[in-house]
Amino acid sequence: MKKIFLKIWSILKNYYVLAALAFIVWVGFLDTDNLVSQLAQRKEMNGLLEQKKFYTEEIQNMKKLSEALKTDRETMERYGRENYQMKKKNEDVYMIVSQDSVKGKI
């Protein structure tokens, strides 16, 4: 045990080893751009890239829907019926509400 301790102590007395350990501690934990904050920033960046991908796809879908609503009368009628509960003069509309949606509003 004593021999191992002396061997470790002799290695740690070397100035190059001390400088390297100090540098690792400084970069790993004490610096403003330390490894811990870099990992947190990378995790946040990955989340933001996923959001960017989602919103880019949503924009493309909205552009397609907008173009379809401008050009196709049937699509415009279907969209109005589904989203705004519009109806023609001579028809009755019945809305079927599920139990799950009612429980969520209470």
Give the torsion sign (CA, 24, 26, 32, 36): positive
Q: Is residue 99 part of a domain?
A: yes
Please give the C-alpha separations between residue 31 and each of 17, 18, 22, 44, in angstroms, as whole numbers: 20, 18, 12, 20
Give yes or no for a contact between 35 and 28, defined as CB atoms under 8 angstroms apart: yes
Find the farthest-apart pair of alpha carbons in the chain and give their distance in angstroms, rounded.
Answer: 99
Q: Is residue 94 part of a domain?
A: yes
Q: Is residue 78 part of a domain?
A: yes
Q: Is residue 16 part of a domain?
A: no
Three-state DSSP at 13 gives: coil
Specify the amino acid at residue 96: I
Per-residue pLDDT of the chain (106 residues; tens, 9 = 90+): 778 877 777 777 788 888 888 888 888 888 778 888 889 999 999 999 999 999 999 999 999 999 999 999 999 988 988 888 888 888 887 878 888 766 666 5
Whether the model pTM is above 0.75: no
Q: How many domains does the chain have?
A: 1
Report the 10 Å Cβ neighbour count for 87.
Answer: 11
Please give the C-alpha separations between residue 78 and each of 20, 45, 68, in angstroms, as whole numbers: 69, 39, 11
Q: Is residue 71 part of a domain?
A: yes
- Could you tell me where the DSSP H helices lie in 13-34? 15-25
Q: Please give the residue range of the domain that contains residue 64.
A: 49-105
